[in-house]
Amino acid sequence: MRIASLVPSSTEMLFALGFGDQVVAVTHECDFPPEAAELPHLSYTVIPEGLSPAEIDAEVKRIVGEGRPLYGLKAEVLEEVRPDLIIAQDVCAVCAVSYDDVLAIAARLPGNPTVLKQDPISLAEVMDNAVEVADAAGKPEAGRKLKADLTARIDAVREAVAGRARPTVLALEWLDPPFTGGHWVPEMIEIAGGSDLVGRAGQKSAECEWEGLNGLNP
């Protein structure tokens, strides 16, 4: 099977599942494992390089406000690599090529490739995605094994921190302006033995003001 990944986390997942030799193209942001970075790139960003975090945020808001996408999909590369399976995401509109754009281009490709959407909001759903990817790639046992291994590692962490004092944690995904950690980040903090001061498990990252964070004293 020939697999194209349009999400960096999905690329890492594919290699962890043992499908690395079947991955034929990835995003411009895929850099792990190192061999993934050598594959053809399917995407690009319209945001210029060299901007500060504040400038990037302003550019993102301007482009989104104009109704334009932040990322483009190289249809000609996708056609050249002839994927049987394309993995896309629908979690974040400003994080990767949109699912709708992928569907539109995939519909024009020969061979009618399968498009698998990933939109997890919790750690459990991330692991379920691994099972879904393995199923779609024809090796369901690989997904079940990876999920079991990850679950065991998480349980070991929970056991290791059980009964300890929980330090308060301020997790930020962006600094200028600050954005709180969202989705499964608060859950990971809880599992690791911390107490997230602002994030809520299963909720999206949210922009906030430094004035509202100064007194938290994590």
Answer for the pair 121, 40: CB distance below 8 angstroms, yes or no.
Answer: no
Taking residues 156-178, what's their average pLDDT?
A: 96
Class of domain 3-151: alpha beta
215 or 141, higher pLDDT: 141
pLDDT range class, residue 164, cuts 50, 70, 90: very high
Q: Give percent of the chain with pLDDT exceeding 90.
A: 77
pLDDT value, residue 69: 86
Does the pLDDT value for residue 96 go beyond 90?
no
Question: What residue ranges of the chain are covered by domains with CATH 3.40.50.1980?
Answer: 3-151
pLDDT value, residue 141: 95
* CA nearest to 89, candidates 133, 66, 112, 120: 120
Backbone angles phi, psi at 168, to 5 degrees: -80, 145
Q: Which amino acid is at 212?
A: G
Does the pLDDT value for residue 40 go beyond 90?
yes
Could you tell me the pTM of the whole model? Answer: 0.87
pLDDT tens for residues 25-39? 999 999 999 999 999
Beta bridge partners of 116: 87
90 or 19, higher pLDDT: 19
Does the pLDDT value for residue 95 go beyond 90?
no
Dig out the tokens for 200 from the structure: 């809520």
pLDDT value, residue 11: 96
Task: Give, as one character, the DSSP assignment of residue 98.
Answer: -
pLDDT value, residue 129: 94
Where are the alpha helices (H) located in 17-139, listed in sequence order? Answer: 53-65, 75-81, 99-106, 123-136
Q: Give percent of the chain with pLDDT exceeding 70.
A: 100
Does the pLDDT value for residue 111 go beyond 90?
no
Vertex 6, ends 42 and 206: CA angle to 5°?
125
pLDDT range class, residue 101, cuts 50, 70, 90: confident
